[in-house]
Structure formats: structure tokens, C-alpha cells
Chain A
């Protein structure tokens, strides 16, 4: 059912996105190791870790980092199954697909031979392994950061890091309205599906999509104007201000020290 597929596929994508937003927010406020840390120190140390992943040159180092991330996730009470699913969602699979040909075509010392001919080289295996592990590790840190930090605290950290306030203000409001639009779009798809009997041609679906997108665009335009008036009405003069309540505690210093030591060790191992 091509027509049904189009609607159903989109509905499940939209629904999944909404659910995942809600679920990460709940996890971010649950008690756990990383949740208890100040957002600023988390952002800085996680960036440090991601750069370390980027600079790593050996498979054992990347493997070790992977274990570190899993341990952190466990200590932060993130359900491991959910965490792995989030990380493996599609990018690492896609990466594996990209990496597999490298196994066979990279020239170098032979690793696996079939009937006397070199099929997989050591270099190929290493390249593929490096790529996949790097992607998984970097992604894991990103996912872990978002799963353990409430959105508003993250924004506060970005503001503290001196990111342009215009950008943070837009970022903050965009996120809020993504959920609304997801919900509205989902409703439109569901309404369409409930009225659809039988198959719809690709053309009909495309035209409907075009109309729906345009209506949403026009509504977005109207909404943005109303929001602006609402802001004006409460005294907005061009600067979105926020009351950030960020404070460092002892555990933040311990974490910072740990992160520095860990990163240094990993980088040193790199140079061996």
C-alpha cells in the first residue's frame, strides 16, 4: 500500500520524535551521576572528550572510551537498552555500511585470505574499526549529555560560554515550537489517514504534502507575529533575558579533575 505507507511512515516518525523528546526530558531530571553535575562543566568536559575521540589513533583507546561512556550511562541510571538504541539509531549502521567496502579495498598487509587471495587487509580492518568506533563514541557522548541535562540548563551553559545571546534565544524558542509543530503536523497526517480509503497515488500524496506544508508555513508566519506581539506586550525590547541559576559544587570540581586526567591519559596513550 504505497499511499498508506507514506502517511504511516511519517506519522510514526513524528510520534517517535515527540516521544523521544519527552522521554529525554524525564531522564534528564531523574537522579543520577551526570544529572547532578553543573551543566557548564558537563558541556566543557564532554567537548573535551569528543575532541579526544577525534584525536585518537588506536582501536584500543577508542574501545576504552566506549566502555567509559557505558559506565557513565549506567551510573546515571539511563536504561542501557534505551541508550544503545538511541546511539545506534541509524548513523552507526549507516557508517558500518560505508565502512565495509573499506575492509576490502584498502591496500596493505593481508589479514583475511580466502583461497589464497587477500580479501581483507589489516589496514582496511583498522580503518573500518576506527571509523565505526569514532562515530559511536562521539555520538554516545552527545546523547549522554542531552539525556542528563535539562534543556534550560543547557541553554544557561551556552549563555555562560558566551555564545551570542541572539543565537541562544532563537535556539531556545525554536525548540519549544518544534514540539507544537510536530504535534500539529501529526494531527494533520492522522486526520488524512482516517479519511483515506484504499490507496493513494504518489502524486496525490505529494500534492497533499505540498498543500499541508504551505498551510503550516502560513500558520507559522501568523504564529510568529502573535508571539512577537505577546512579547512586546510584556515589555520586550529586543533582548531575551533569563534568570540562570548555575552554581558549582564540590562534585563538579571532582568531575572536572577526573575528566582532565582521563582525557590526558587517553591522549598520552595516543602518542605511544
Chain B
């Protein structure tokens, strides 16, 4: 998943750096708080560990081999913010020394693998494992699920970054200047490879190590007191994800949903005239993604993408509201839809 230099434009690279900087900032604050003086030696040694973990060629049942990233594992053992910094260091060394991943593209690679990956992985892990013992099989399942989802979400963002290149960066006659494939090709290609191969490898390695840790070094797994409120949250997220993938089914239905007609349709349907208010205000809001259609993409992908973006926006808003409310003194542990669990990292 390491993007080399040349695949994304300098503008994209710069944007990705800018997006990652706040996470780096938060990570260094949180880690220094949690680890205080131990920060440098602990992060250094564990980053070195992650580095060699990424080097191992892992055999899957069936014969294919591949490499794991280990970001979720690191987040489980050290906490998500320590994983952000640790993986950043690994990516920097890989880029500088081994040419694995570009130097300009380091911002993007860090966003995908050092931010999205461990944070998503940790979140899923916490949600699925909440309330269970450190040595329970539910925790193992949580680690496996978390790592699988994390690497796929990271791959999704990678595909996004690569897939928009031809749309935004091309010569006058349309020749793509950087990554040549649009979202229509990039998304299925990356997601396919990761859902089927890289994802299972990541889940396998994470699960193996986690299982052995449970057996002999369970103190390394940060277990915390059970909180009852978040038990069923993972059901909700799973359901949302399923629904998001199912949205393109709507394309099958013809016609427009009741009450959602455009003014012209109204006239045609038998009203005979366009109400003046409708006429005046129709179209005043320039929707960024009109009709769930993204430029240069098939309708199906457009729908799914819109679903993910929509869910993400709603979740973010709810989280924001949840934080504001909790700061005003509402008791913690209150079930808040879409609220991220307070992390101990």
C-alpha cells in the first residue's frame, strides 16, 4: 500500500501532509502524557519491531504469500496514538532507506497507514471487545476484525487518493499526469486485492500474535474495566456498513421517490404549473455531489462512495456534539450514537 513518488501530484501530496499534521500533533501530546519519559525508548523499540514485522513474508492457506502492516496490533499493545507515531517512524525509514514509499508521498502514506489504519483498527477492537476479559476469545475476534477492517479502510483511502489523480491532474488533451487510473479502476483493484489477500494476511498475523500474547504475556494487552453501554454498538456499525454497500440497489427503481420531485416533474405529473416558491428557491444550494454522482465514475460506485461519506459526516457530527455535551458535565458512559469511545491511549 506504499504509494511511491510520482503517483500523486505535489498538490495532493501537500494536502495529505496537511491532513496528517493535526493527527501527529495530537499523537505526540497524548503519547507524552501516557508514556512520559519512556516515550523515546518504548516507541523506538516497538517501531523497530513493526519494521521487521512488515518484512516477513507470510504464507496464507492456499499458497499466496504477502506482508502484514501490524498497525492494529501496535495500537492494541501501545495505544492508538503511540501506533500513529510508531508507524510514521517506520514509514519514514522505509521511504528514506529502502525506497518503499515516496518522500513527497510520505504524508499520504502516513495518513493511510499511520493514522487511518491504527485508529480504525483500535476503534473496532474496542467496540467489539468492550467488557470482555483480556484472555477471552471475544478479544481475539475483536483484534482480527479490527485489523481486517483497518487495512481495508486504509486501502480504500489509498485508492481514493490514487483514483482522483487523472481527474484533477492531466494535460490539455486529457493525458493523466500521475496515477493513470480513475476511481472506477482504482477502487475495485485496490479493494479487491486487500479484501481477498492483504486483509486476511493482516488479520492472520494480528490474530496469531494476539493469541500468543493472550496465552503468555496478557499484561501487554491493555484491558480496561468493562463498560456496559457500548456492547451493541458494533452491531450498529456493521449494519450501517452493510446498508452502505446495498445502496446501489436504489438504481434499480425507476421514477422519483414520492415528494422528491423536481419542479419540472411536478408540472408533468399533472399539477400543470410550477409553484412560485419552488421556482424561486429550487437550485439555490449547489450540492457538492448532485444526485450522488461523482465525476467520471459509475453510478454504482458513486452511490457507495456517497454512502460512506454520508455516514462519516453524520458520525463526525454526532461525535462532535457528543464531545461538547460531555464537556458540559453529562455523565460519561452514556450511550451516544456514533460517539467514539474515550481512548486510554
Contact = CB atoms under 8 A, between A and B. Distances in A.
Do A and B share a complex?
A: yes
Contact of B92 (A171, A178, A220): A171
Per DSSP, are chain B's interface residues mostly helix, strand or loop, or mixed?
A: helix
B90 interface: yes
Contact of A57 (B37, B47, B85, B171): B171
Contact of B6 (A54, A145, A202, A240): A54
A220 B46 contact: yes
A10 B180 CA distance: 33
B180 A173 contact: no
Contact of A170 (B10, B44, B176, B213): B44
B140 to A, nearest CB: 12
B157 interface: no
Interface in A61-109: 86-87, 89, 91, 95, 98-99, 102, 106-108
A102 B104 contact: no
A200 to B, nearest CB: 10
Contact of B49 (A95, A130, A171, A217): A217
Looking at B49, B211, B213, the one whose CB has the most chain A CB atoms below 10 A away is: B49
B40 A166 contact: yes
Given A54-B9, A224-B38, A180 B211 contact: no
A174 B44 CA distance: 4
A119 interface: no
A214 B218 CA distance: 11
Contacts of A55: 10
Interface stretch (A30-38, A135-143, A245-253, A254-262): A135-143
Nearest to B10: A54
Contact of B4 (A102, A138, A181, A217): A138
Nearest to B8: A54
Nearest to B25: A164
Interface in B128-186: 171, 173-181
A2 B10 CA distance: 43
B233 interface: no
Given A89-B99, A171-B89, A50 B208 contact: no
B209 A217 contact: yes
A32 B28 CA distance: 38
Contact of A21 (B89, B97, B104): B97
Interface string A1-35: 01000100110011001001100100000000000
A45 interface: no
A143 B99 contact: yes
Given A102-B180, A217-B77, A178 B4 contact: no
Contacts of B49: 181, 216-217, 220
Contacts of A192: none
Interface in A165-194: 166-167, 169-178, 180-182, 185
Given A178-B93, A181-B51, A224-B46, 10 more contacts: A2-B59, A95-B6, A98-B180, A127-B175, A127-B180, A138-B103, A173-B40, A173-B44, A205-B59, A217-B209
Interface of A: 2, 6, 9-10, 13-14, 17, 20-21, 24, 47, 50-51, 53-55, 57, 86-87, 89, 91, 95, 98-99, 102, 106-108, 123, 126-128, 130-131, 133-135, 137-139, 142-143, 145-146, 154, 164, 166-167, 169-178, 180-182, 185, 202-203, 205-207, 209-211, 213-214, 216-218, 220-221, 223-225, 227-228, 231-232, 236-238, 240
16 contacts: A13-B55, A14-B55, A24-B97, A54-B5, A55-B10, A107-B174, A138-B5, A170-B39, A173-B40, A174-B90, A182-B55, A207-B208, A214-B216, A217-B217, A218-B217, A224-B38
Interface of B: 4-7, 9-10, 13, 28, 32, 36-49, 51-53, 55-61, 63, 65, 77, 85, 88-90, 92-93, 95-100, 102-104, 171, 173-181, 204-205, 208-209, 211-213, 216-217, 220
